[in-house]
């Protein structure tokens, strides 16, 4: 499932085609994705201007001139692809409609935004903009990693006394929004922390080291266009490239890339998910 860097990459790719532009025509080709689509969705979107395109955790939010917000979740295989003319960015011919093109937005200026989702685990919903943060998909999310609200004192307070593994706590969206399996593995490896340790055992200096590492891992991944392991594509259709920079994730049996470490990356299973780490340098 796309994590924060992949979703932010898609948001940035959509912005030139969508922000400040009207949706001249919306076409909805099925009644549901993972859940039923909003009633009269095409009618409610057609004619609306996208005033702002933002991200919250793993969701894209389009604030509309109609005082509604379109919430988009890419799910496992969802893609938001831009074609046509995007002034100052590119001109890409519109492709013929594909089997899994479920929602299509014809934008003012000539661009077309298509939501394609083969597995239909994605989702879209419309909600009054003032109530968007209270939507059941967004309610209860923790702070964004790049926000000032996420700092070492906050994280220390959330981890204090917790016996759950450090990795599990970092995956908890109520603690920090947007992190998933890939980037938690990468952050813990860069910070030299054992993913099996009880979260409450992390010391103040260790947490102080971890917070900027989380931010740097995410920033590096965004700069690389995210990680394309199976389905992720940027809005342009291009792959992300951060997977070529993984230090831990997916590298079972490979030499550790930490300078001076002679260890080997191992894979363990935690709560049914693969964890990749180096026993030699992650303590």
Catalytic residue among 2, 16, 145, 195: 2
2 is catalytic: yes
Determine whether 104 is an active site residue: no
Reply yes or no on whether 58 is catalytic.
Answer: yes
Give the CA distances from residue 156 to residues 203, 214, 253, 254, in Å, rounded to whole numbers and listed in that order: 8, 14, 33, 32
| Dist CA 160 CA 191 (whole Å) | 19
The single residue of 58, 112, 167, 190 carrying the catalytic annotation is: 58
- Helix, strand, or coil (residue 104): strand
Residue 262 three-state SS: coil
Asked about 273 being catalytic, the answer comes back as yes
Is the distance from CB of 266 to CB of 278 less than 8 angstroms?
A: yes
Integer CA distances (angstroms), 255 to 184, 217, 258, 259, 264, in order: 19, 20, 9, 11, 5
Cα–Cα distance between 113 and 18 in angstroms, integer?
Answer: 8
Tracing tokens 């990749």 back to the chain, one arrives at 276
Catalytic residue among 144, 247, 273, 279: 273
Q: What is the dihedral of CA 261, 241, 147, 80, to 10 degrees?
A: -150
Name the residues annotated as catalytic. Answer: 2-3, 58, 273
């Amino acid at each position: 499932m796309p994590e924060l860097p992949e979703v932010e990459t898609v948001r940035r790719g959509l912005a030139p085609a969508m922000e400040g532009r009207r949706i001249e025509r919306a076409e909805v080709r099925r009644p549901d994705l993972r859940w039923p689509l909003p009633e009269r969705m095409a009618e409610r979107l057609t004619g609306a201007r996208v005033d702002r395109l933002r991200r919250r955790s793993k969701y894209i939010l389009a604030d509309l001139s109609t005082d509604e917000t379109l919430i988009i979740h890419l799910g496992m295989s969802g893609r938001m692809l831009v074609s046509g003319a995007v002034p100052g960015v590119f001109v890409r011919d519109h492709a013929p409609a594909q089997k899994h093109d479920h929602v299509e937005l014809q934008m003012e200026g000539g661009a077309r935004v298509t939501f394609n989702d083969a597995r239909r685990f994605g989702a879209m919903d419309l909600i009054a903009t003032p109530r968007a943060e209270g939507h059941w998909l967004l309610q209860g999310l923790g702070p964004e990693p790049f926000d000032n609200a996420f700092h070492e004192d906050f994280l220390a307070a959330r981890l204090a006394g917790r016996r759950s593994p450090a990795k599990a706590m970092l995956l908890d969206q109520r603690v920090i929004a947007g992190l998933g399996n890939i980037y938690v593995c990468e952050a813990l490896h860069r910070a030299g922390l054992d993913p099996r340790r009880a979260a409450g055992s992390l010391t103040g200096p260790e947490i102080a080291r971890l917070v900027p590492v989380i931010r740097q891992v995410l920033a590096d991944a965004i700069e690389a266009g995210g990680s394309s392991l199976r389905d992720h594509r940027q809005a342009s259709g291009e792959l992300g490239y951060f997977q070529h920079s993984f230090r831990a994730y997916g590298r079972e049996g490979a030499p550790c890339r930490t300078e001076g470490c002679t260890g080997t990356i191992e894979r363990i299973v935690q709560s049914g998910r693969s964890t990749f780490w180096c026993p030699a340098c992650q303590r």
